[in-house]
Every structure is written in structure tokens, then in C-alpha cells.
Amino acid sequence: MNQIQLLLMGGAACLILASAGVLEAEPGSRLSREELIAKRDSAKERATTKLAPKEEAEAAKHPSQSSILDSSVLLSDGRNWTFIPKGALLYIPDRLKDRVNLTESKGKYVPFDQFAQRNRGWLSTHSVTLEQARGNEPIKDSVRKVLVNSGRVIVTVCKGGPITTRPPKVAVASAGA
């Protein structure tokens, strides 16, 4: 570094220390090393106190500590694993139940699209519309039968990503009928 850079850095350090209240000594007096360290530490403490969130406000924002995995189902092929939202499983054959809903993730995490591609022998996806996912439109029974007969784990997806699919809403019979 050249002399100009050193002078600029020293001036900036003095301005920072002065704004933090570290350099409050009378002009012409010298602070000992211990006094300077104590002032610096108190300035740091004041700065962090101002920035620290209040516990009550923090508790109001985050009522419970939950993980995305708490609302997900794990899928594993023994070497890789991924997760999908609960409710995205349309069908699970009995012979493949050991690959679904695992409590422990073993192996390497793989994003769902790659996991589905690697495991297309036992895992399949079915595209649904947002209306079907919301339960406003049912998935046709003929489609469900074909999916069940495939013998694969079926995951509902919308626009390429897994999505929770709610059961269809039952049409309420009109009062006059």
C-alpha cells in the first residue's frame, strides 16, 4: 500500500471510532491500551444492543420452529433421496411402501426432477391442473385406474414440481332436490 492509501484508511478508522463513541477523550490526552479496548467493547455492545431483535417480537413472527421436512414426505432409492409435499402422493403400491415416508434420509439429496428421472422404473408423475390440486375438479376415475395399474408410486405435479392434491370437493345437493 502506498502512503495515500494508508492515510485514507487511518482517517476512515478514526471517523468510524469517533462515530461509535470510542474516541471521546479530551483533546491532548492519551488513552491507555486497556481504556481504548474497554471503550471499543462498550461501543460494540451498544451497537449490538440496538440491532438485537426483541424476544417478544421474534416470538410473534415465528410461533413455532418448523422445518420444510415436517410437511414433506421423503422418497429414497437407497442411494439418493428427495422430498415432496405431503398430499402429493396419489398412489403407493404395497411393494414400494419401504421407499416412501422414510424418517431418515440416507445417501445424497437429489432435487425431485432429477430423482424422478433416475427412478422412472418405480416412480411416475401425473400432471394436474391447479383446479385439480385445489380439489375443485376431480381427477377422472379412468385416469386413476390407469395410474394404479402402472404399479408405480404416483406423484402429482403441476408445472414440473410436486404439488399437494386435495381430495375433490363433494358437490352439495341443492335444497330443492
Which pLDDT score, from 0 to 100, does residue 48 have?
A: 66
The one-character DSSP state at 166 is P
pLDDT tens-digit readout, 142-155:
999 999 999 999 99
Q: Are strands 89-91 and 153-158 parallel, antiparallel or unpaired?
A: antiparallel
Which pLDDT score, from 0 to 100, does residue 44 have?
A: 72
**Residue among 82, 87, 88 nearest 69 (CA):** 82
Residue 16 identity (one-letter amino acid): I
Residue 159 identity (one-letter amino acid): K
- Tell me how far CA of residue 119 lies from CA of 1, 69, 156, in angstroms: 58, 21, 15
> Mean of the per-residue pLDDT values for the chain?
79
Tell me the CB-side half-sphere exposure of residue 41, using CA atoms within 13 A: 6
- The model carries a pTM of 0.58
Coil, strand or helix: which one is 127?
strand
Is pLDDT at 157 greater than 70 in this prediction? yes
Residue 169 identity (one-letter amino acid): K
